[in-house]
Amino acid sequence: MTQSLIKLTKEQKQHFETEGYVIVKGLFSEDDLAKIDETFEAISNQTVPGYFEPDLSTEIVDPLKRYPRVMHPHRFNETAKTYMLHQPVLEVLADLYEEEALAAQSMFYYKPPGSRGQALHQDNFYLQVEPGNCIAAWTAIDAADEENGGLLVVPKTNALEISCPDIADSKESFTTHYVKPPKDEKAMPVIMDRGDVLFFNGNLIHGSYRNKTKDRFRRAFICHYANASATHISNHYRPLYRANGEAVSLEINPSGGPCGDEFETVYPH
């Protein structure tokens, strides 16, 4: 299916540049979303060593043990790779970067009822894209709001440097890092409908609430990208991919790593 080239409005680009993020609607059709639903429903009932290792037993206290996030599904699933390279998303990224975007990572969060959120953090602390920056494309597979653990952003923090994180509260965050917002800057909720895509800059401080509902998941398909003129990235994200699926190897930035270490990984109980 041929689609006309997607260009952001001047206002949308301005919002991304000044606030650090922008929501774009209509980049995924309901057919696209149904394929994503079906793919990750199937993945949720299996184990993929190194990428998705759920506890499939019946008695689990922590819902994230049963539904951990899926890391790099594009490395073992063709549908995930197809949607990481989704043409409308890449067109928006090319507009934001003003050059070609390279796909570096895919993730899928199930975020079941009762699960912890992710403390405020900055993505380029992990990806270490240089020169330039990473941009996240965060697609709401379920509607996301304050009740079911929607995203939080601290506007305008895209202009800040990358901070060295503190330790997060393990009761509220499943990952260990926490970046404190500047004085007088507050995290605000981003309310999203199914299929909305939030694009945000790699320095923007963001995180998520706990899912306080009893019956609503907050599924999200999240991919990270680098500008084609970047020369270095953390090894965890190599190889990157062009729109046509061709692999690209940038030089290794020795720092960085996965997007947030989980508490159990760092502090075994």
Global confidence as pTM? 0.94
Query: In this predicted structure, what is the pLDDT of residue 268?
Result: 30
Query: In this predicted structure, what is the pLDDT of residue 265?
Result: 43
Secondary structure letter of residue 73 according to DSSP: G
Q: Are strands 188-190 and 101-109 parallel, antiparallel or unpaired?
A: unpaired
Taking the C-alpha atoms of residue 223 and residue 71, their distance in angstroms, rounded to an integer, is: 10
CATH 2.60.120.620 is the classification of domain 10-266: yes
41-60 residue pLDDT tens = 999 999 999 999 999 887 77
Query: In this predicted structure, what is the pLDDT of residue 76?
Result: 98
Of 91, 72, 219, 87, nearest in space to 143 by CA = 219
Residues of the chain predicted below pLDDT 70: 1-4, 257-269
Q: Which amino acid is at 197?
A: V
Query: In this predicted structure, what is the pLDDT of residue 60?
Result: 72
Which residues lie closer than 8 Å to 150 by C-beta, 6 or more apart?
144, 189, 190, 191, 192, 208, 209, 218
Taking the C-alpha atoms of residue 185 and residue 181, their distance in angstroms, rounded to an integer, is: 6
Query: In this predicted structure, what is the pLDDT of residue 127?
Result: 96
Q: Give the DSSP per-residue string, 117-139.
A: B--SB-THHHH--BSS-EEEEEE
Q: Which amino acid is at 77?
A: N
Distances (CA, A) of 50 to 23, 47, 67, 236, 253: 32, 9, 14, 12, 22
**Count helices and strands in the chain by DSSP H and E runs:** 7, 15
- Whether 181 and 130 have beta carbons less than 8 Å apart is answered as no
Query: In this predicted structure, what is the pLDDT of residue 260?
Result: 58
Taking the C-alpha atoms of residue 230 and residue 144, their distance in angstroms, rounded to an integer, is: 32
Q: Are strands 240-241 and 247-248 parallel, antiparallel or unpaired?
A: antiparallel
Cis preceding-peptide flag for 131 (omega within 30 of 0): yes
Of 98, 185, 189, nearest in space to 140 by CA = 189
The residue ranges of every structural domain in the chain are: 10-266
